[in-house]
């Protein structure tokens, strides 16, 4: 079946530190991959996405590259800010049909000044 595994949190970083949140997936076929972010008290928002192998999604300084050979979609940011504190979810959506997103369990990031 389809599944997403992401690193357990919480992750605590100092402002301006480098961020990596690992995400790997299992899927039949070639899914689209997503990172969603959930700020405190809010719903999930799409952060970035990639639809095929070697695509790089980017937004707000965050990047992730669709790696088919390692079935990974790691999230990175070169210099985090306090305002990046949130829960980050990796997700996939199979391209074989119109089916729901499959989410990882989420990784909580806390950035301290």
Partner 1 sequence: DAGVIQSPRHEVTEMGQEVTLRCKPISGHDYLFWYRQTMMRGLELLIYFNNNVPIDDSGMPEDRFSAKMPNASFSTLKIQPSEPRDSAVYFCASSASYRGDTEAFFGQGTRLTVV
Closer residue to partner 1 (CB): 44 or 86: 44
106 part of the interface to partner 1, by CB under 8 A: yes
Closer residue to partner 1 (CB): 17 or 63: 63
Closer residue to partner 1 (CB): 25 or 34: 34
The residue within the footprint of partner 1, chosen from 19, 23, 25, 32 (CB under 8 A), is: 32
Interacting positions 70-89 with partner 1 (CB under 8 A): 89
Closest-CA residue to 32 (of 73, 61, 78): 73
Closer residue to partner 1 (CB): 48 or 80: 48
Q: From residue 59, give the alpha-carbon distance in Å to each of 1, 64, 96.
A: 29, 9, 26
46 part of the interface to partner 1, by CB under 8 A: yes
SS3 82: helix
34 part of the interface to partner 1, by CB under 8 A: yes
Calpha distance 37→91 (Å, rounded): 11
**How many Å is the Cα radius of gyration of the chain?**
14
Calpha distance 62→64 (Å, rounded): 7
SS3 84: helix
Nearest-approach distance from CB 93 to partner 1, in angstroms: 5
Q: Which residues bind partner 1 (CB under 8 A)?
A: 31-32, 34, 36, 41-46, 49, 51, 89, 93-101, 103-106
């Amino acid at each position: 079946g389809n599944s997403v595994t992401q690193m357990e949190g919480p992750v605590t970083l100092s402002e301006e530190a480098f961020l990596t949140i690992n995400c790997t997936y299992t899927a039949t076929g070639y899914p689209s991959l997503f990172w969603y972010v959930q700020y405190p008290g809010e719903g999930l928002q799409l952060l970035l996405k990639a639809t095929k192998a070697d695509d790089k999604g980017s937004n707000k300084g965050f990047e992730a590259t669709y790696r088919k050979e390692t079935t990974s979609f790691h999230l990175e940011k070169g210099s985090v800010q306090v305002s990046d504190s949130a829960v980050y979810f990796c997700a996939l959506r199979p391209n074989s049909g119109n089916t729901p997103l499959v989410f990882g369990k989420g990784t909580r990031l806390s950035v301290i000044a």
